[in-house]
Amino acid sequence: MKVVIVGGVAAGMSAATRLRRLREDAEIVVFEAGEHVSYANCGLPYFISDVIAMREALLLQTPESLWRRFRIDVRVNTRVTAIDRDSKSVSAFNSITGESLTETYDYLILATGAKPRALEVPGGERALSLRDVADADTLKAATVGAKTAVVAGAGFVGIEVAENLRHLGIEVTLVQRGSQILSNFDPEMIEPLQAKLVSEGVDIALGVEIASIESNAVTLSDGRTVMADIVIAATGVVPDNSLAVSAGLRIGKTGGLWVDAQQRTSDPNILAAGDAVEKLGELTGDQTLIPLANLANRHGRLMADVIAGIETEAHPALGTAIIGAFGMVAAVTGLTENSARKAGIEAQAIHVHPGSHAGYYPGSKRVSLKVLFDPQTGRLLGAQGVGEDGVDKRIDVLATAIRAGFTVEDLMDLELSYAPQFGSAKDPINHLGYVGNNVMNAVTPTLQWHELDTALASGAQLIDVRTEREQKIGAIPGSRLIPVDELRDHLGELDGDLVVHCAVGQRGHIATQILRSAGKSVRNLDGGYATWKSGKDALARTKG
Ligand SMILES: Cc1cc2nc3c(=O)[nH]c(=O)nc-3n(C[C@H](O)[C@H](O)[C@H](O)COP(=O)(O)OP(=O)(O)OC[C@H]3O[C@@H](n4cnc5c(N)ncnc54)[C@H](O)[C@@H]3O)c2cc1C
């Protein structure tokens, strides 16, 4: 059996090495247009500032090492230019030798990845992008002597590049068309990272685009001019599907290559995976583009299984992702409140802000978590987290819980490892379960931060149940202070539609119980002042 693979990074090399482990007799040829194979593109931003100082550390394999261990015939600097499905062959061109060649296949694997979206504005050709090692070399060279940079696009790559340019002392403006950085988070959940970037000297320009690029500056769509020795285009990626299109393979509505659950394209002898293909979203049932390394690797492996005759299917994708910058971490899995709304999926949100580990053990940091669940069944639909510590493990637990089909109440019973330096006897995950349980059983009716203004305008009374000291540091306009310990003395004064809030929601829950026992109509502001403040700060940032 002869298998030809186009693209020698995540999906392509996962397929090649797995296939070798399954079939010692298969002939495996990999064509890679670039100079390097199997490189760590996720590490590229950190090479720019020498956080990863050794370039070789990014080069995980070489054609020689792959031949030695796996007998995989890797041809670098060789671009596949056409597929002839009738003769089951590909044409390729070696950019170093100038040689053109043809290779036949029994199975063809397309793992061509995605291309950075070009900045289509006057002067756009000046913008650098970051996809491969050669791009990283170019960007690193451009930073020498540079004082200013504009990064277009505040997605994962744009933020990582901005952080690393700041490490080099370069003034950075991060330009984002949308109303917040990282559009795959809800605004109140990404605000702490936005604030962190700003405090570290990243100038974030929201709601604007680059209109044109001049020799040492860019002009923004609002007319502002920003100095820019370097311009980086990080406005997202588009599936690199030109080969597939020319070969007449089916392209999905998303622009990604269509594949079935076994990663077969519309031609059963051609399989595809990675950033070039669309994936089935687990929670929406829609086809979607999720350009992430973990999915590229696992679907690469799966293609080898399918070719080797193993019965298997790709599991739909959640889109679990994480980013860290300047010590702040944000992670997401499944649906956000925004994406659930767009998909027409009813979702109840809860927010908690516990410590990353027991408060009495040094170094505990606030970890802010939000989960979404089906208000009827409790089934978990999504989670987001932000903080300086402990975010990664909580989101990974929640991603696992969503995959397992757990309800929010199942989180109460998860038995998670605990010692004071790692967590709490009631881990933040269990805490989410308790809050969800109270919401599911209508023990504590809640109100979201973005619903508060409407409730107040309709006559609701807002009671701040924190202490006077806390209130002095920051208060929600229109609130009346009655600390929770004094609430029972004021029951006679409180009537009508009541909303209570505390710092994070916990004392608000106690206050809700006291007021409900007294026959009052009351809701607790979910996530308390902390969530409300983050949401309002995010909105204020958008308005500039
Ligand atoms: C800077 C950066 C940081 C990232 N960080 C993360 C992260 O932290 N976490 C995460 O999950 N994901 C991250 N990603 C995304 C992740 O790298 C991709 O999802 C993953 O690499 C996709 O794998 P792939 O095999 O589909 O494509 P790629 O890794 O892009 O590989 C495709 C290869 O195909 C080659 N090719 C294309 N056309 C041809 C042709 N006609 N002939 C021969 N060769 C061809 C290309 O040269 C390329 O090397 C990052 C990406 C970048 C660029």
pLDDT tens for the chain, residues 1 to 544: 999 999 999 999 999 999 999 999 999 999 999 999 999 999 999 999 999 999 999 998 999 999 999 999 999 999 999 999 999 999 999 999 999 999 999 999 999 999 999 999 999 999 999 999 999 999 999 999 999 999 999 999 999 999 999 999 999 999 999 999 999 999 999 999 999 999 999 999 999 999 999 999 999 999 999 999 999 999 999 999 999 999 999 999 999 999 999 999 999 999 999 999 999 999 999 999 999 999 999 999 999 999 999 999 999 999 999 999 999 999 999 999 999 999 999 999 999 999 999 999 999 999 999 999 999 999 999 999 999 999 999 999 999 999 999 999 999 999 999 999 999 999 999 999 999 999 999 999 999 999 999 999 999 999 999 999 999 999 999 999 999 999 999 999 999 999 999 999 999 999 999 999 999 999 999 999 999 999 999 999 987 6
pTM of the model: 0.96
Residue 197 CA to ligand 1 centre (angstroms): 26
Interhelix angle for 187-199 vs 528-543, to 10°?
70
Nearest CA to ligand 1 atom 35: 7
Q: Enter the tokens of residue 151.
A: 């990064």
Distance between CA 221 and CA 178 in Å, rounded?
Answer: 13
Taking the C-alpha atoms of residue 401 and residue 541, their distance in angstroms, rounded to an integer, is 34
**Residue 14 CA, closest ligand 1 atom number:** 25
Q: Is the CB of 323 under 6 A from ligand 1?
A: no
Q: Which of 22, 42, 195, 308 is catalytic?
A: 42
* Separation CA 73–CA 32 (nearest Å): 11
| Shortest-distance Cα residue to atom 48 of ligand 1 | 7
Ligand 1 center to residue 502 CA distance, Å? 46
Residue 242 alpha carbon, nearest atom of ligand 1: 41
Distance, in Å, from the CA atom of 328 to the CA atom of 120, rounded to the nearest integer, reads: 32
Measure the CA dihedral 153/159/164/168, to 10°: 60
Walk across the sheet containing 202-206 and list its strands: 202-206, 171-176, 148-152, 230-233
Q: What's the rounded Cα separation, in Å, for the pair 441 and 455?
A: 22
Q: Are 291 and 277 in contact (CB under 8 A)?
A: no
Ligand 1 pocket, 296 CB below 6 A?
Answer: yes
Q: What's the gap between Cα 89 and its chain centre?
A: 37
Relative to the CA of 243, which ligand 1 atom is closest?
A: 41
Does 246 sit in the ligand 1 pocket, CB within 6 Å? no
42 catalytic? Reply is: yes
